[in-house]
């Protein structure tokens, strides 16, 4: 069993415009609504790849029935605490002229110390049979600094995968020693406060976390590919040549793919190539649809990994 944690889920609304014009009227050409939240995304990908997975979290009362219904239709096992407030909606504006995607993310329903205590207890109960726990995404308003660190320490003995940035990543790395971290390049630069221009610099930055006690680090770098770093080895995989439709959720899909690879091989270094294929398969879908298994299977054979 794998458990993913999503403390700030959302509805993802993706719209397409010809050219995003600031302070002007923009005509929407296409729009779609999807289930959202990074922890949910990871669980959806893992489930579509055949893994035994569940998602737990916190969500606002307003919209909870609709969000739960979407998870049910996906066949995703889930258990969420509901709190006063509404499930947030995150807007993704895709500009067809090559500007990329502009994201407008709402903060989500606020929590307090009482809600967090209840959620920590729920997490301990629901992860009892899980070897791996994935913690990813933004935290809702009201969470103190170090919430992910504290949650990991409350689950002593579990292999925790963390995908976050900034102070949360720094505190968790120092105080809880995650099994694996998966920042993207921008998040790694933001956390360390430095610009990373070369493969060697990115490797050295990841090694800073390995020296703090993190066992595995994966850095996704968009068109530059991705890197896996541990105390024993560094691997690099160039980006696959695909038709990109949306990069939203690609990092979540990468984690889902690595979970599949780890279940098959028992080795995170070997699981890296599964993550590359899953991330690329996600980019081939529109909006935040995440992954089609047949795309993943075709791409897996194309992944090239080299030791550096």
108: exposed, middle or buried (Cβ count in 10 Å: 0-12, 13-18, 19+):
buried
- Two tokens at 263? 């279940």
| Dist. CA 114–CA 118, nearest whole Å | 6
Handedness of CA 173, 226, 131, 40 (dihedral sign): positive
- Two tokens at 116? 């967090």
Query: Are the C-beta atoms of residues 3 and 55 closer than 8 Å to each other?
Result: yes
Length reported for the chain: 308
Rounded to 5°, angle at Cα 294 from 290 and 299:
85
pTM above 0.85, yes or no: yes
Name the residue among 254, 100, 290 with its Cα closest to residue 180.
Answer: 254
CA torsion 182-187-189-193 (nearest 10°) is -120
- List % helix, strand, coil for the chain (3-state, nearest 5): 40, 30, 35
pLDDT over 70 for what percent of the chain? 97
pLDDT at residue number 277: 96
pLDDT at residue number 5: 98
Question: Within the chain, which residues score under 70 in pLDDT?
Answer: 244-248, 286-289
pLDDT at residue number 244: 67
pLDDT at residue number 300: 95
- Two tokens at 23? 């302070």
Count structural domains, the chain.
1
Q: What is the CATH number of the domain that holds 134?
A: 3.40.1190.20
pLDDT at residue number 288: 56
pLDDT at residue number 245: 66
| Dist. CA 113–CA 119, nearest whole Å | 10
Give pairs for 270-274: CB < 8 Å, separation 24+.
272/218, 272/226, 272/228, 272/235, 272/237, 272/305, 273/237, 273/300, 273/303, 273/305, 274/300
pLDDT at residue number 283: 84
pLDDT tens-digit readout, 240-257: 988 766 666 789 999 999
User: Residue 293 sits in which domain range?
Assistant: 2-20+29-307
pLDDT at residue number 99: 86
């Amino acid at each position: 069993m794998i458990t993913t944690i999503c403390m700030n889920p959302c509805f993802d609304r993706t719209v397409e415009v010809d050219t995003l014009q600031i302070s002007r009227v923009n005509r929407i050409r296409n729009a779609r609504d999807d289930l959202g939240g990074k922890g949910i995304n990871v669980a959806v990908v893992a489930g579509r790849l055949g893994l035994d997975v569940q998602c737990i979290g916190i969500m606002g009362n307003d919209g909870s029935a609709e969000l739960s219904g979407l998870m049910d239709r996906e066949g995703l096992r889930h258990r969420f605490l509901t709190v006063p407030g509404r499930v947030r909606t995150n807007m993704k504006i895709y500009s067809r002229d090559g500007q990329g995607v502009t994201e407008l993310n709402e903060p989500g329903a606020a929590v307090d110390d009482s809600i967090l205590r209840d959620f920590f207890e729920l997490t301990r109960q629901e992860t009892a049979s899980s070897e791996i726990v994935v913690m990813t995404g933004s935290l809702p308003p009201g969470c103190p600094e170090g919430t992910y660190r504290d949650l990991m320490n409350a689950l002593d003995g579990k292999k925790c995968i963390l995908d976050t940035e900034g102070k949360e990543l720094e505190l968790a790395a120092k105080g809880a020693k995650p099994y694996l971290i998966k920042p993207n390049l921008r998040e790694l630069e933001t956390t360390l406060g430095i610009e990373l221009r070369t493969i060697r610099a990115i490797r050295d930055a990841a090694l800073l976390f390995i020296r703090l006690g993190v066992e595995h680090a994966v850095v996704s770098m968009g068109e530059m590919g991705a890197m896996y770093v541990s105390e024993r080895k560094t691997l690099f995989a160039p980006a696959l040549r695909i038709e990109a439709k949306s990069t939203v959720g690609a990092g979540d899909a990468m984690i889902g793919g690595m979970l599949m690879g780890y279940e098959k091989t028992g080795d995170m270094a070997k699981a890296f190539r599964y993550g590359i294929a899953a991330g690329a398969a996600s980019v081939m879908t529109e909006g935040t649809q995440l992954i089609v298994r047949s795309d993943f299977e075709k791409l897996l054979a194309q992944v090239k990994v080299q030791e550096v």
